[in-house]
Amino acid sequence: MERKKEVLKGLTNFGAGLYDQMDEGVFPWIKMPSRSIENILYSPEVRQYILGDKTVRRSSRNIRHIRPLTQLVWAAYFAKELAKHRKTSTLRDVYYSAQAYNVPFKDQPESNNIITDLETVSGFAREDFNVFPEERSAVFGDLTIEYTVPGYEGRQLNLTSHPDGVLIGPALTSSEFAETTADKVIAIEKGGLFTRFIEELVHKKFNAILVLTAGQAPRATRHFLHRLNKELSLPVHIFTDGDPWGMHIAMVIISGSANAAHLRELTTPDAKWGGVWATDIVDYKLPSDRLTEVDIKRLYELQKDTRYGGELWQREVKTFLKIKKKAEQEAFSRYGLTYIVDEYLPAKLEEADN
């Protein structure tokens, strides 16, 4: 709840700054870090992308600035209203709500961009303002949480209570962690495998909390993984498809994306990518498809990416390029439905511990 107060205070200060400027007869203006490409740097200390020293100034004197500035002030106002009334919203919702206040956005990207401005200027993620994306990721495992959302305050839930897993939505994101017996987290890219793991009792056999990223992990999910790692000191293992795209899903959970350079607490730098590696395709003789031209182009891009500097990453990129093959997580089914749980997973987890 401390965080909520901080968010509210931040928004109040933002408004007060502008108010005082106008009171002193000055056209209100703001300054915030620039999010242009040349101001996004990778920081080895923080182990994620951060914004550099360049700032942008937006003044209501400037005819091209006053509209986005107005939209930004409105967005801050709207966020404060959400927080005050403990309501949640989505990006789509924000876009439509603006029309009711007569500060319309011309399209969804413009509205999204203003929300990102609000994150940049305030230093809080939009989830802190109760603005969430559409949900599709889930969590399953022995973790008891305590809700803080209105009407559920103090109520607890064990995340094994539903066999499909629990949606990582606004309520779960804002909940407190009560207790857990798990000693690790396994993040899985695909829904099919997530269900298989629950059926095969992976959470029990490996004492793990299972998280479904459903493709590229949404920011709420990345933040949730961050909290599991930081607050509960649980190591995080990531399992994706064996192709450049799966590899990058793991990387974004670990090191974050350039788009979120203005935000913290979305990354889990100590998380480990467990597979499927290119070397796994060779070692396990997995059924595979040929890499497409797009795949290969992407691999060359990743090879040059600062986040891929590590030995493991370079080795896997090179191997992909050498064997020119890719494999999905489901490829293990050629050895039987439980092979992945019985053989592959333990081997991989062990490898990660060494």
Residues belonging to the active site: 96
3-state secondary structure of 267: coil
Do 120 and 262 form a contact (C-beta atoms < 8 A)? Answer: yes
CB of 22 to another protein, least distance (A): 4
Beta bridge partners of 139: 166, 211
CB of 28 to another protein, least distance (A): 6
Q: What sign does the dihedral 60-63-67-68 (CA atoms) show?
A: negative
- Tell me, rounded to whole angstroms, the distance of Cα 173 from its chain centroid: 12
Going through the chain in order, the beta strands assigned E by DSSP cover: 29-33, 40-43, 48-51, 55-59, 89-90, 131-132, 138-140, 143-146, 156-158, 166-167, 176-180, 184-188, 208-212, 236-239, 272-275, 289-290, 325-326
CB of 64 to another protein, least distance (A): 9
Residue closer to another protein by CB (options 76, 236) is 76
Residue closer to another protein by CB (options 78, 344) is 78
Residue closer to another protein by CB (options 99, 156) is 99
Residue closer to another protein by CB (options 80, 196) is 80
The closest of 203, 136, 126 to 168, measured between CA atoms, is 136
Residue closer to another protein by CB (options 19, 152) is 19
Report d(CA 86, CA 104) in Å as an integer.
24
Length of the chain: 354
CB of 6 to another protein, least distance (A): 15
Report d(CA 200, CA 343) in Å as an integer.
13
CB of 12 to another protein, least distance (A): 6
Going through 170-245 in order, the beta strands assigned E by DSSP cover: 176-180, 184-188, 208-212, 236-239
3-state secondary structure of 147: coil
Tokens 């007569």 found at: 102
Beta bridge partners of 315: none
CB of 95 to another protein, least distance (A): 17
Positions touching another protein (CB under 8 A) are 11-12, 14-16, 18-19, 22-23, 25, 27-28, 60, 63, 66-67, 69-70, 73-74, 76-77, 80, 102-103
Report d(CA 59, CA 129) in Å as an integer.
24
